[in-house]
Amino acid sequence: MKKIRTKTKPAKGQSTKAPDIPTTARQVAAFADDVRRHRDVAVADDARYRRDVALARERIGTTIDDRCRWLLDDFAVRDPDALSTGERAVLRDNLHALAEGMKPRGIPEWAFPIDATGCSLPDPPDADLRGVWERAVALTRAHVQPADLPGVPEELWTRWRPTSGKRSIRLERHRDWPDLTTALLHQVADLLAACERLRECPECHRLFVARRRQERHPKCARQARDSRRPSRQKKGA
C-alpha cells in the first residue's frame, strides 16, 4: 500500500502515521463510530448555535420597535472594546440574531443568517468587532450623515411553490451574504428604515424609538430641565 504523505507538519502529539483504510469488521465498526461521533459533535454544535441565537432574540426583541430600541439605546452606546469577555460573547450572539433579520411574513421559522453554501456565517474576529460596531453605529446617524452600505448579490425567489390548491406564491428577496458584517449592516439598515416611531432627540440629536408622545431621551429631558433651573444645578444633584 502506498504511504500517504501529509504536507503540513503534524501538531505535537498528533500521530504521523498515514490513516489506515478500514478493512476488518472491527476497523469498519471503529470507523463508523468515529463518523457518528463527528456527526454528533456537529449536531450538538448546531443545536448550541440555535439555542444561543434563540436566547439572543429574546434579548434584542422580536418586533421592529423593540429591536430598534435595543440597537439605539444599548448596542450603539456600548463600545465593544470596553466590554468584558463574557459580555462580548453575549454581544456576538446578539449580532447573529440581528443579522438574521426579522421573521419573514408567513414563514413559521426564523431564517438563520447563512452564506451561499448554507453554512452559518463566521463571527468577525475580536479585533474587528469594534470596526463592525462603528459601521453599525454610523447607520444610526444616517439622519445626519448618509451612510454607505456594502454591495451584496440579490435574488428574487420563493421558499415554497405549491403545486395544487390555491397556489398562492410569496416571493422574497434573497441576499447572498458574503460575511456576517455585511448581513448585519443590511439588517440594521432595514430595521431602521422600517421603524415608524423613530425620532431625533432635540438635545443630543441621536435617534430613539418614541413611546407614545415622547419627544426626547429621559436623560436629555432631565438635563434640559435642570439647565433651565440654575438653583437645582448649584445644589449639584
Residues that bind Zn ion (CB under 5 A): 201, 203-204, 217, 220
* Residue (10 or 218) nearer to Zn ion, CB: 218
**Residue 93 neighbours by CB under 8 Å, 6+ apart:** 52, 53, 55, 56
The closest alpha carbon to 96, from 72, 144, 127, 132, belongs to: 132
Q: Are strands 207-209 and 198-200 parallel, antiparallel or unpaired?
A: antiparallel
Cβ closest to Zn ion, residue 90 vs residue 221: 221
Q: Which residue type occupies 68?
A: C
Task: Choose between 152 and 223: whose C-beta lies nearer to Zn ion.
Answer: 223
Q: Report the nearest approach of Zn ion to the CB of residue 218 (Å).
A: 9
- Which residues are bridge partners to 173 per DSSP? 156
Nearer to Zn ion, 69 or 96 (CB): 69
The distance of closest approach from Cβ of residue 205 to Zn ion in the complex, given in angstroms and rounded to an integer, is 7
* d(C-alpha 88, C-alpha 193), whole Å: 27
CB of 150 to Zn ion, least distance (A): 29
* Residue of closest CB approach to Zn ion: 201
Minimum distance, C-beta of residue 94 to Zn ion, in the bound complex (Å) = 23
C-alpha cell at 134: 462603528
